[in-house]
Amino acid sequence: MHQHAGAEFMCDSKPVEEAIIKCCIEKGCSLATAESCTGGLIAHRLTNVPGASAVFLGGVVAYANAAKMALLDVPEAVIAERGAVAEAVAVAMARGARARFDADYAVAVTGIAGPGGGTLEKPVGTVYLAVMGPASQRVRHCLFQGDRDAVKTQTAEAALQLLFELLETS
């Protein structure tokens, strides 16, 4: 599990989302997002980059479990067995976003932003990130600190970093 202080990741002194868009344009690949606890923040950051329309196909904000199942084909049994905040759910969300948008790469997040909803097993700040490409995927379990906005910001940053790592090695 990764614990982050929330520092913004820079790539060649540019925000990571700019590096992602540039990399996708150069590789000719497309992106999609599937977000729960970030509520569209990842898509927002990506679409703030000029040129994003050439590679960003779309995103789904699936906050409710029913939306995860209906829009991203997350199996009901996975949510019933593990809960909405689980590695298997993040992976299924990423797979579902790739399929829904016919995208080369997808990033997905699910977590507990707080202030309520946490348990001893899954405290507030528990987040699962998944990125999936044509030939590989990466998953990360993180525990972030801070208020709701801080958890959302740190989650979006970590997800974008993970996506960039996958793009760089693909």
CATH number (domain holding residue 17): 3.90.950.20
Q: For each of the chain's 170 residues, which pLDDT tens digit applies?
A: 555 444 455 555 689 999 999 999 999 999 999 999 999 999 999 999 999 999 999 999 999 999 999 999 999 999 999 999 999 999 999 999 999 999 999 999 999 999 999 999 999 999 999 999 999 999 999 999 999 999 999 999 999 999 999 999 98
The reply to whether 136 falls in a domain is: yes
Domain total for the chain?
1
Domain containing residue 157: 10-169
The reply to whether 4 falls in a domain is: no
Q: Which H, E and C letters describe the chain, residue by residue?
A: CEEECCCCCEECCEEHHHHHHHHHHHHCCCEEEEECCCCCHHHHHHHCCCCHHHCEEEEEECCCHHHHHHHHCCCHHHHHHHCCCCHHHHHHHHHHHHHHHCCCEEEEEEECCCCCCCCCCCCCCEEEEEEECCCCEEEEEEEECCCHHHHHHHHHHHHHHHHHHHHHHC
Q: Rounded CA gap, 123 and 13, in Å? A: 34
The reply to whether 3 falls in a domain is: no
The reply to whether 128 falls in a domain is: yes
The reply to whether 60 falls in a domain is: yes
Token representation of residue 91? 């992976």
The reply to whether 145 falls in a domain is: yes
